[in-house]
């Protein structure tokens, strides 16, 4: 008997699906195309999950850039098997703003925007 668990790597907002319901275990479906899902949650503070699927074993990079194009994180840089992945991006030291996450797998490149919003706490003295 194969024990499986399910987790949500997306959500539905205003009738639009972001992500998918994924199954872990031996019966996991092999992706048929390259997909970079919208990060969840978005906006985020201070962490978010970035999920993607690749249909073949390839050299993969997953990087995060600020709006000026400066790389702020290199989350994945190496060969990956064909399957679904989810990576946690935790950047409590970054400032609020728009960031870009970029997946490069072989010759395929996909980019998405994400928004980091930090709470401002005021203390009355």
Say what the pLDDT of residue 104 is: 96
Domain annotation covers residue 124: no
Asked, for residue 123, whether it belongs to a domain, the answer is no
User: Into how many domains does the chain fold?
Assistant: 1
Question: What is the DSSP secondary-structure string of 38-87?
Answer: PPBSSSBSSEEEEEEEESS-EEEEEEEEETTS-EEEEEEEEEE-SEEEEE
* Within-domain flag for 19: no
Residue numbers of the domain that contains 74: 30-116
* For residues 35-59, average pLDDT: 92
Mean pLDDT check: name the lowest of 65-69, 77-81, 88-92, 117-121: 117-121
Say what the pLDDT of residue 119 is: 73
64: domain CATH number is 2.60.40.1930
Q: Which two tokens stand for residue 90?
A: 């935790």
Q: Is residue 15 one of the residues assigned to a domain?
A: no
| 50, part of any domain | yes
Give the pLDDT confidence score for residue 13 in this predicted structure: 59
Check residue 10 and give its pLDDT: 53
Residue 18 lies in a domain: no
Whether 80 is covered by a domain: the verdict is yes
Q: Is the pLDDT of residue 114 over 70?
A: yes
Give the pLDDT confidence score for residue 3 in this predicted structure: 41
The answer to whether residue 92 sits within a structural domain is yes
Among 80, 42, 36, residue whose Cα is nearest residue 58: 80
């Amino acid at each position: 008997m194969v024990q499986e668990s399910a987790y949500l790597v997306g959500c539905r907002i205003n009738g639009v699906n972001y992500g998918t319901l994924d199954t872990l275990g031996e019966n996991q479906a092999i992706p048929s195309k390259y997909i970079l899902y919208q990060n969840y949650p978005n906006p985020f503070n201070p962490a978010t999950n970035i999920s993607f699927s690749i249909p073949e074993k390839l050299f993969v990079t997953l990087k995060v850039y600020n709006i000026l194009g400066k790389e702020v994180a290199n989350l994945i840089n190496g060969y990956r098997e064909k399957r679904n992945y989810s990576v946690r991006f935790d950047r409590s030291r970054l400032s609020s703003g728009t960031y870009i996450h970029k997946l490069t797998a072989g010759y395929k490149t996909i980019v998405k925007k994400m928004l980091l919003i930090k709470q401002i706490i005021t203390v009355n003295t």
